Chain A
Amino acid sequence: MGEKFRLLVDQELAEHRPPPVGHLIQTAMAEGRRIKRRRTVRNSLAGAALAGVLLVATAFAVPVLRGAGPPAADRSGAGAQVAASADPSVLATPGVAAASPVASRPVPRASPSGMPASDGTGGATVAGTADLTPSAALLLLTTLLPNGRTSNYAGHLSSNGMITVQTYLDRGQGPGMLHLTLAPGSMSDAATCTVGEQDGINTTRCRTFPDGATLETYEITNNCVQRYGALYVSKDGFAVHLNTASCLDWDGTRRPAGQRALTEDEAVAIVTDPAWAEKVPRSLVTDGAAQFPSLPRVLG
């Protein structure tokens, strides 16, 4: 039947007048470049994770567990990190915050360490905005998290402008690790996202917002640090990337299993929160610096 079927289909197709091809190929190439850029960002994060593992493996030639305090020479500010890790606190904030415009967003009511932070008027007393910092990003993240005990804070600013922060979240079932990366202007516009498995990444959700921002959630079975990912790219190309790990931080010999700290919906609510921006209220930066004066580097 093949030949006859083909003939009939071709005859019917010949009667159609399809729209002109136009710039289809050029547009496809531009879109393809955007896909590659998105992939590059994702790979750079995975690369950072791997580099972290290698760094730790090297550092553990001097066997020091992170929880017990790494040598100060290796990581500046480690002492503060150890203190924070050893004395986790319960966040007093409610569940995952709803959309919260930067201008009206309440400053965190309680700090992860339990110390008094801002009274919510910090933005008024310290006017203006400032560049987002790792400590401010960590403070904002912990504010957006559902109720639970946070610990094991870390964060750093990469030379390429990317901010990465880490926290554990224990919602009563044991700790789970979260990594958040903020990549200012890394992607100039939206890229194609397709639900399904490709290259070992199972994309579970794709959405393009009316303003051109995009959201993608995915799972990577064989990467416990990036086990569940949520990536939001604003219309300006500002990427907010949250990884919900299925393992904990490197303990010197392995990555112990951890709880999944956030559901997909909770992760989406966090990455799409409008408070994330390159410029944030100065009060958030000052509060962040007060809460997390020094953070060890995220090791992936």
Chain B
Amino acid sequence: MKDVEDREFVEYAESRVQRLRQRAYLLCRDWHLAQDLTQVTLAKLYASWRRAAKADSIDAYATKIMLRVFLDHKRLRSSQEVVIADAAADSVQHDAAPELRITLLEALGRLSPRDRAIVVLRYWEDHSVDTVAEMLGVSQGVVKTQSMRALAQLRVLLGEDIGLLTT
């Protein structure tokens, strides 16, 4: 029985590990941290595999685990986060030449961890407001408000390139 479960888990993990790692990278903006976040997520998923396998969606279950680990990690280091984020935002030059503009991923990295998570889930993974709210354990109103705030911030950070986000 255990072998069967292990095989099922390995099959699932192998099919999702790249995507999980990409999401982790979008959240962390560091490939090594992303590797760690993915590993912790899979470890917790493995530890709860019986329950996860019975869930409506294993992907949603894994997403919840990753978000919780990511946001807890960020919460513990929140004081450092704020300083770095503020400094980064202040350094943006809106009229900079195109080659000096920040990339979308860099802009994403300058959002607060929760805003970043919402943008990734809403616009990269295309989850509904309801689903994102459920995954994050917040109200739909919070997701909507933070989505708007995050987009506004991205527009500021990206300057003229915002057209890429609105069309």
Inter-chain contacts of B167 with A (CB < 8 A): 1, 4
Interface centre among A6, A32, A35, A196 (most CB of B within 10 A): A32
| Of listed A1, A12, A19, A192, residue having the most chain B CB within 10 A | A1
- A21 and B47 within 8 A (CB): no
In the complex, what distance in Å separates the CA atom of A2 from the CA atom of B44? 30
Q: A98 contacts the other chain (Cβ, under 8 Å)?
A: no
Q: Is A99 interfacial (CB-CB < 8 Å)?
A: no
Contacts of A27 in B (CB 8 A): 39, 43
B123 to chain A, nearest CB (A): 4
Q: Does B100 have its Cβ within 8 Å of any Cβ on chain A?
A: no
User: Is B72 touching A21 in the complex (CB atoms < 8 A)?
Assistant: no
B18: contacting residue among A21, A32, A35, CB under 8 A: A21
A27-60 interface code vs B (CB 8 A; 1 in, 0 out): 1111111011001000000000000000000000
Compute the total of residue contacts between A and B using a CB distance below 8 Å.
106
Decide if B165 touches A4 in the complex (CB within 8 Å). Answer: yes
Is B143 close to A, CB under 8 A? Answer: no
The answer to whether A24 touches B76 (Cβ under 8 A) is no
Least distance between B166 CB and chain A CB atoms (Å): 6
Whether A21 and B21, one on each chain, are in contact in the complex, defined by CB atoms closer than 8 angstroms, is yes
Judge if B103 is at the interface, Cβ distance under 8 Å: yes
| Distance to closest chain B CB from A202 (angstroms) | 12
CB of A6 within 8 A of CB of B126, answer: yes
Determine if B89 is an interface residue (Cβ-Cβ < 8 Å): no
* In the bound complex, CA of A8 to CA of B102 (Å): 13
Whether A32 contacts B123 by the Cβ 8 Å rule is: no
Task: Select one of B25, B39, B72 contacting A28, CB under 8 A.
Answer: B39
What residues of chain A lie closer than 8 Å to B32, measured between beta carbons? 19
Contact call B35/A24, Cβ cutoff below 8 A: yes
Instruction: For A18, give its contact among B34, B46, B124, B126 (CB under 8 Å).
Output: B34
- Per the 8 Å Cβ criterion, residues 1-51 of B in contact with A are 6, 9-10, 13-14, 17-18, 21-22, 25-26, 31-32, 34-35, 38-47, 49
In the complex the two chains form, is A196's CB within 8 Å of B68's CB?
yes
Task: Determine whether A194 belongs to the interface, using a CB cutoff of 8 Å to chain B.
Answer: yes
**Interface flag for A68 (CB, 8 Å):** no
- Whether B13 pairs with A25 at a CB distance below 8 angstroms is yes
Other-chain contact of B26, A9, A30, A32, A194 (Cβ < 8 Å): A9
CB-CB contacts below 8 Å: A95-145 with B: none
Q: How distant is the Cα of A71 from the Cα of B122 in the complex, in angstroms?
A: 65
Residue among B22, B40, B43, B122 with max Cβ neighbours from chain A (10 Å): B43
Those of B40-75 within 8 Å (CB) of chain A: 40-47, 49, 68-69, 72, 75
- Chain A CB within 8 A of B104 CB: yes
Contact A9 B124 (CB under 8 A): yes
B105 within 8 A of partner (CB): yes
Closest to A198 in B: B68
Partner of A32, one of B47, B124, B164: B47
Q: A18-B31, A21-B21, A194-B72 are in contact. Are A28 and B124 (CB under 8 A)?
A: no
For residue A257, which residues in chain B have a CB less than 8 angstroms away from its CB?
Answer: none
| Chain A: minimal CB distance from B146 (Å) | 16
Q: Are B21 and A6 in contact (CB under 8 A)?
A: no
Name 6 A/B residue pairs within 8 A (Cβ), A-sorted.
A4-B164, A6-B124, A9-B104, A13-B22, A19-B32, A32-B44
Shortest beta-carbon contacts, A-B, top 8? A32-B46, A28-B42, A31-B43, A35-B47, A32-B47, A32-B43, A28-B43, A5-B123
Residues of B within 8 A of A (CB): 6, 9-10, 13-14, 17-18, 21-22, 25-26, 31-32, 34-35, 38-47, 49, 68-69, 72, 75-76, 103-105, 108, 122-124, 126, 151, 164-167
Question: Which residues of A are interface residues toward B (Cβ below 8 A)?
Answer: 1-2, 4-6, 8-9, 12-13, 16, 18-19, 21, 24-25, 27-33, 35-36, 39, 192, 194-196, 198
Given A9-B26, A29-B43, A39-B47, 11 more A-B residue pairs with CB atoms under 8 Å apart are: A1-B151, A1-B167, A5-B104, A5-B124, A6-B126, A9-B105, A13-B22, A19-B32, A24-B39, A28-B42, A31-B43
